Structure 1
Amino acid sequence: MDWKIELVAIPVTDVDRAKAFYEKIGFNADHDASPYDGIRYVQLTPPGSGCSIAVGTGITTAEPGSVVGMQMVVSSAEDAYQALLAAGVEATPVKDEGWGWFTYFADPDGNKWAVQQLEGYYS
């Protein structure tokens, strides 16, 4: 049996602001629905990913900005860093962490993301 992680809830204060932010950095908005009062569910997927995030209202009790350590893997950390800067996102310069190259950024609520390059690191 496969156990797949396919959706992670990211707590935010403003759903429209979060949706716009993630779209600005290249995530695709797959769904945006309010199936009943008190629920709004927005699913966003990074390009090429089998896992999506969900932002919304009524989908998590976690505090906005409390996520630390969400991680995406890319073929080029430098290209990712440059794309984040071009989108107006504050990101850290690429750093060799000893197990890959990383750049870090946060969404408007302060949820913290790591972007890791493994490809070419161990060759």
Structure 2
Amino acid sequence: MDLRLQLVPLPVADVERAKSFYVDKAGFTLDHDHSAGDQFRVVQLTPPGSACSICFGIGIVDTTPGSVKGLHLVVDDIHGARAELAGRGVEMGEVEKMGAPGKPTVSYAAFTDPDGNSWTLQQISG
């Protein structure tokens, strides 16, 4: 049995602000933006190179905006990815490394969207 995660809904307060952040600053591809009246709108975006997308909008989720924490974006070059996002205006945390003797080093750099949903860049190097 294959189980493929394809879509993660995010709670946001302002759909246009979130769309602008993810497209213009985070560099996600806008896949879909559809409205059906005033009570439903779905915006779907995909991070570059990812098979999994995010979505937000109106009538999508009823959780508190900013309540999704710890989504990970795995990268090959954390310093390059961090610099690219920071260059687009994303407020990035510093790169932090974690590891143990004989184990791969795992590096992290965090950021949040305008609502406070949190993301972590992650690089595992052996």
- TM-score w.r.t. the length of structure 2 is 0.91
**Post-superposition offset of 1:36:** 4.3
Query: 1:104 maps to what in 2?
Result: 110
- 1:100 alignment partner, SS class: strand
Residue segments in structure 1 that go unaligned for 5+ positions in a row: none
The CA RMSD over aligned residues, in Å, is 1.0
Query: 2:23 maps to what in 1?
Result: 23
Residue segments in structure 2 that go unaligned for 5+ positions in a row: 100-104
Which letter does structure 2 place at the counterpart of 1:31?
Answer: H
After TM superposition, the structure 1 = structure 2 runs for residues 2-21 of structure 1, keeping only pairs within 5 Å, are 2-21=2-21
Which letter does structure 2 place at the counterpart of 1:4?
Answer: R
Aligned-partner Cα distance in 2 for 1:63–1:83: 29
**Post-superposition offset of 1:6:** 0.3
Q: When the two structures are aligned, how many residues end up with a matched partner? A: 120
- TM-score w.r.t. the length of structure 1 is 0.93
Task: Verify: 1:116 aligned to 2:117, yes or no.
Answer: no
Structure 1 segments, 4+ long, off by >4 Å, are: none
After TM superposition, the structure 1 = structure 2 runs for residues 80-99 of structure 1, keeping only pairs within 5 Å, are 80-98=81-99, 99=105
